[in-house]
A and B are shown apart, each in its own frame.
Chain A
Amino acid sequence: MSEIKVSCEALRKVEEICQQFNNDPGELISILHACQNQLGYLPEAVQRVIARQLGIPASKVYGVVTFYSFFSMVPKGKYPVSVCLGTACYVRGSDKVLEEFKRVLGIEVGETTPDGKFSLDCLRCVGACGLAPVATIGEKVYGRLNPSDIKKIVAEFED
């Protein structure tokens, strides 16, 4: 894995966030959420700062980050794509929608396109099961998707 450089300013922000939670190891997940909201992702350097602030091994922080699919160690794309693999979407073929996103974007789940534009993730249920299968791009929700729609949808975001 190539080392991602993080600015000193960003790391100071991480320290601040930890302090807001009183450097309490019990608040690790909340701290990770806050840091990811702030920075968009949780690279190694950020996890090391959190570990040091909370007085826990970096391996523990890394274990939690890799356990929850919500957390990401790579920067998200400008347009983060999430495909729902919840039960309703899955039975209506969201696996095929996901495959088509992978093919069109040329990346795997958890990756970001080299131009930083799109990232691809899966999620479990956005509460729009009536529209299954569902995907979100940024804040925008796309329902009743068919694999043949994907190319056109992605093109909407080309500048």
Chain B
Amino acid sequence: MENMINLTIDNRPVSVPRGTTVLDAAKSVGISIPALCHIDLKGTCVKNTPASCRICVVEVEGRRNLAPSCATMVTEGMVVKTNSARVVRARKTVAELILSDHPNDCLTCPKCNDCELQKLVTRFNIREMPFKGEQSERKKEVTAAITRNMDKCILCRRCESVCNNVQTVGVLGAVRRGFDTTIAPTFDRMFKDTDCTYCGQCVAVCPTGALTERDNTDRLLDDLCNPDKIVIAQPAPAVRVALGEEFGMEPGSIVTGKLATALRYLGFDHVFDTDFAADLTIMEEGAEILHRLKAFLGGDKSVKLPIMTSCCPAWVNFYEHNYPDLLDYPSSAKSPAQMFGAIAKTYWAQKMGIPREKLVVVSIMPCLAKKYECERPEFAVDGNPDVDYSLSTRELARLIKRSNIDFKSLPDSDFDAPLGESSGAGAIFGATGGVMEAALRTVYEVYTGKTLPRLEFTAVRGLEGIKEATIDLGGFPLKVCVAHTLGNARLLMDKLRAGELDYHVVEIMACPGGCIGGAGQPYHHGNIEILQARAKAIYREDEGKPVRKSHENPDIQKLYAEFLGEPLGERSERLLHTCYYDKSIK
């Protein structure tokens, strides 16, 4: 084939399409060239290829200098050496130079054992630090969600690429020059004084300990050991398809039962499930969709369409900062995690006779923005938050290890009633398109009064950046759109502002792949197959559920019968809905 290029890498013949990098060509025959600044989450737009670190250099026959394999395209007849003495030594020297101003505190670094620089040091057999350079003293910051320690930054610019090119948030950028160069939020501000959405994708791609999550594990440990507190857990849908990776299990392993057992062994008094609240979200958001649709079909010109999902706290931040003129479009429904907190601290606490101040609601999330969301003042009653705080999937894994629990050998158990029962619709919230599919299952049946012939809406599944579909809603063509990453959200919002967005319902998630690719998940290190495996697992989880539509969840029906009344009713509005604020920087 003329578009195939033939070359030799380490004496092995390789044939790859034109336009392939030497790095990828080598990978295709099982030669894994080490790289550091490079990341390419194929199939999504997460990509950083500045060729600046020079870790991935190779020897190309006929070329005088060593070539960065991440940025060198294959050519016909090329002869490449990835492991000659010259290459191996050069690579080691490059790593040693990077280490010359890197803090030498791996033992206590939050990224220890997950650090890409540390892995290279082991791989290159670096046993001493030959270059002792000046140490940088840069800003440190702890926000509700993200911890920043730029002394550990190696200037790979991955965070900058993601913040600007993928999320289009545009907060992180390189400032100053030479040794003083650092990656900083706009005008060297703190994150909290910028347009940062706390999506945390900068953390998800950071190879070192420069950007990490704010750690809440000690806080949780204290609460779990406090006899005066009742501590309850709610893990999100995406946690159960990723947590196993932290214990050496295959990506895509479903560990729902082990997760429930682990939370119980940790000492949680009750182990509930955010999936339950996902079903509740569908009840409220679904009712809102129907309400707006009916008004629209009834000729009401003022109705705001498309209605947009509002479960993702980074997306909420994004439109509050960038589209304050369009705050009427997103659904007023709170996120499932916040709905859970509001119900747990009212309905359930009353039922159990637990005073609000004794009850601690902890969410386990694939997300870092959820940590910030817990601190939003409107999600609290007299300063007592509905969800006290949030731990990421990674933090939970750390706490499990610290608590001497052998996760892999745990028996399965079920979540507790009544806030632990969920449908398959709740389960798929964790993947891009999942909220839309869950909503369609309910909206279709409520609107048409008919049973869905087929539950799967495959058109809204998959990792494509923007997906659209038209659903036959009993003769009415319902136009829906699903987007993930904030860059894709911006494309849609700019169209909406220009009056050119022709959909009825839009789902948006900030992270690539949806919550399965959240910033609190085990690090994917640029491997897209991990996200794909998690997404598949999410849909397997749905298939295995006896109830697969939110409105058929018996405990949800009971909650409305006993306490809430009806979706969008007075009590539902007060507890389960919110409003948005203009947070644009003038």
**A interface vs B, CB < 8 Å?**
1, 44, 47-48, 56-60, 62-63, 66-67
Q: Considering the chains assembled together, what is the distance between the CA atoms of A67 and B175 in angstroms?
A: 6
Q: Given contact pairs A56-B170, A60-B170, enumerate 11 new A-B contacts (beta carbons under 8 Å).
A: A44-B187, A47-B187, A57-B170, A59-B171, A59-B184, A59-B185, A60-B164, A62-B187, A63-B175, A67-B174, A67-B176
A66 and B171 within 8 A (CB): no
Partner of A58, one of B170, B174, B176, B177: B170
Contacting residues of chain B (156-203) with chain A, CB-CB under 8 angstroms = 164, 169-177, 184-188
Instruction: Please give, as numbers and ranges, the residues of chain A lying within 8 Å of B169 by CB-CB distance.
Output: 57
Instruction: Please give, as numbers and ranges, the residues of chain B lying within 8 Å of A63 by CB-CB distance.
Output: 173-175
Q: Considering the chains assembled together, what is the distance between the CA atoms of A115 and B239 in angstroms?
A: 59
A1 and B188 within 8 A (CB): yes
**B328 → chain A closest CB, angstroms:** 24
**B interface vs A, CB < 8 Å?**
164, 169-177, 184-188, 585
- In the assembled complex, 30 residue pairs joining A and B whose CB atoms fall closer than 8 Å, in A order, are A1-B187, A1-B188, A44-B187, A48-B585, A56-B170, A57-B164, A57-B171, A57-B173, A57-B186, A58-B170, A58-B187, A59-B164, A59-B172, A59-B173, A59-B184, A59-B186, A59-B187, A60-B164, A60-B170, A62-B175, A62-B186, A62-B188, A63-B174, A63-B175, A66-B175, A66-B176, A66-B177, A67-B174, A67-B175, A67-B176
Q: Considering the chains assembled together, what is the distance between the CA atoms of A48 and B585 in angstroms?
A: 10
Instruction: Please give, as numbers and ranges, the residues of chain B lying within 8 Å of A44 by CB-CB distance.
Output: 187
Instruction: Please give, as numbers and ranges, the residues of chain A lying within 8 Å of B585 by CB-CB distance.
Output: 48
Instruction: Please give, as numbers and ranges, the residues of chain B lying within 8 Å of A62 by CB-CB distance.
Output: 173, 175, 186-188
**A35 → chain B closest CB, angstroms:** 16
Instruction: Please give, as numbers and ranges, the residues of chain B lying within 8 Å of A1 by CB-CB distance.
Output: 187-188
Q: Considering the chains assembled together, what is the distance between the CA atoms of A58 and B163 in angstroms?
A: 13
Closest to B174 in A: A63
A60 and B177 within 8 A (CB): no
Q: Considering the chains assembled together, what is the distance between the CA atoms of A66 and B164 in angstroms?
A: 18
Closest to B169 in A: A57
**A82 → chain B closest CB, angstroms:** 18
Instruction: Please give, as numbers and ranges, the residues of chain A lying within 8 Å of B177 by CB-CB distance.
Output: 66-67
Q: Considering the chains assembled together, what is the distance between the CA atoms of A44 and B176 in angstroms?
A: 15
**B179 → chain A closest CB, angstroms:** 13
Q: Considering the chains assembled together, what is the distance between the CA atoms of A63 and B173 in angstroms?
A: 6
Q: Considering the chains assembled together, what is the distance between the CA atoms of A63 and B185 in angstroms?
A: 10
A58 and B186 within 8 A (CB): yes
**B177 → chain A closest CB, angstroms:** 5
Closest to B176 in A: A66
B187 and A60 within 8 A (CB): no
Q: Considering the chains assembled together, what is the distance between the CA atoms of A3 and B49 in angstroms?
A: 36
Q: Considering residues A58, A59, A66, A67, which has the most beta carbons from chain B within 10 angstroms of its beta carbon?
A: A59
Q: Considering the chains assembled together, what is the distance between the CA atoms of A47 and B188 in angstroms?
A: 13
Instruction: Please give, as numbers and ranges, the residues of chain B lying within 8 Å of A67 by CB-CB distance.
Output: 174-177
**B192 → chain A closest CB, angstroms:** 15
Closest to B585 in A: A48
Q: Considering the chains assembled together, what is the distance between the CA atoms of A36 and B512 in angstroms?
A: 40
Q: Considering the chains assembled together, what is the distance between the CA atoms of A57 and B173 in angstroms?
A: 9
Instruction: Please give, as numbers and ranges, the residues of chain B lying within 8 Å of A57 by CB-CB distance.
Output: 164, 169-171, 173, 186
Q: Considering the chains assembled together, what is the distance between the CA atoms of A53 and B185 in angstroms?
A: 20
Closest to A58 in B: B186
Q: Considering the chains assembled together, what is the distance between the CA atoms of A1 and B175 in angstroms?
A: 16
Q: Considering the chains assembled together, what is the distance between the CA atoms of A145 and B184 in angstroms?
A: 39
Q: Considering the chains assembled together, what is the distance between the CA atoms of A62 and B187 in angstroms?
A: 6
Q: Considering the chains assembled together, what is the distance between the CA atoms of A59 and B170 in angstroms?
A: 6
A-B interface, 4 closest residue pairs, ranked by CB to CB distance from nearest: A57-B170, A59-B173, A59-B186, A66-B175
**A70 → chain B closest CB, angstroms:** 12
Q: Considering the chains assembled together, what is the distance between the CA atoms of A63 and B174 in angstroms?
A: 6
**A102 → chain B closest CB, angstroms:** 18
**B141 → chain A closest CB, angstroms:** 15
Q: Considering the chains assembled together, what is the distance between the CA atoms of A44 and B173 in angstroms?
A: 15
Q: Considering the chains assembled together, what is the distance between the CA atoms of A7 and B242 in angstroms?
A: 53
Closest to A69 in B: B177
Q: Considering the chains assembled together, what is the distance between the CA atoms of A127 and B303 in angstroms?
A: 68
Closest to A47 in B: B187
Q: Considering the chains assembled together, what is the distance between the CA atoms of A58 and B322 in angstroms?
A: 13
Q: Considering the chains assembled together, what is the distance between the CA atoms of A46 and B186 in angstroms?
A: 14
Instruction: Please give, as numbers and ranges, the residues of chain B lying within 8 Å of A59 by CB-CB distance.
Output: 164, 170-173, 184-187
Closest to A62 in B: B187
Instruction: Please give, as numbers and ranges, the residues of chain A lying within 8 Å of B174 by CB-CB distance.
Output: 63, 67
Instruction: Please give, as numbers and ranges, the residues of chain A lying within 8 Å of B175 by CB-CB distance.
Output: 62-63, 66-67
Closest to B180 in A: A66
Instruction: Please give, as numbers and ranges, the residues of chain B lying within 8 Å of A60 by CB-CB distance.
Output: 164, 170, 173
Instruction: Please give, as numbers and ranges, the residues of chain A lying within 8 Å of B184 by CB-CB distance.
Output: 59
Instruction: Please give, as numbers and ranges, the residues of chain B lying within 8 Å of A58 by CB-CB distance.
Output: 170, 186-187
Closest to A48 in B: B585
Instruction: Please give, as numbers and ranges, the residues of chain A lying within 8 Å of B171 by CB-CB distance.
Output: 57, 59
Instruction: Please give, as numbers and ranges, the residues of chain A lying within 8 Å of B170 by CB-CB distance.
Output: 56-60
Instruction: Please give, as numbers and ranges, the residues of chain B lying within 8 Å of A56 by CB-CB distance.
Output: 170
Q: Considering the chains assembled together, what is the distance between the CA atoms of A44 and B187 in angstroms?
A: 7
Closest to B170 in A: A57
**B241 → chain A closest CB, angstroms:** 34
Closest to A68 in B: B177
Instruction: Please give, as numbers and ranges, the residues of chain A lying within 8 Å of B187 by CB-CB distance.
Output: 1, 44, 47, 58-59, 62
Instruction: Please give, as numbers and ranges, the residues of chain B lying within 8 Å of A47 by CB-CB distance.
Output: 187
Q: Considering the chains assembled together, what is the distance between the CA atoms of A63 and B188 in angstroms?
A: 10
Q: Considering the chains assembled together, what is the distance between the CA atoms of A60 and B173 in angstroms?
A: 6
**B500 → chain A closest CB, angstroms:** 18
Closest to A44 in B: B187
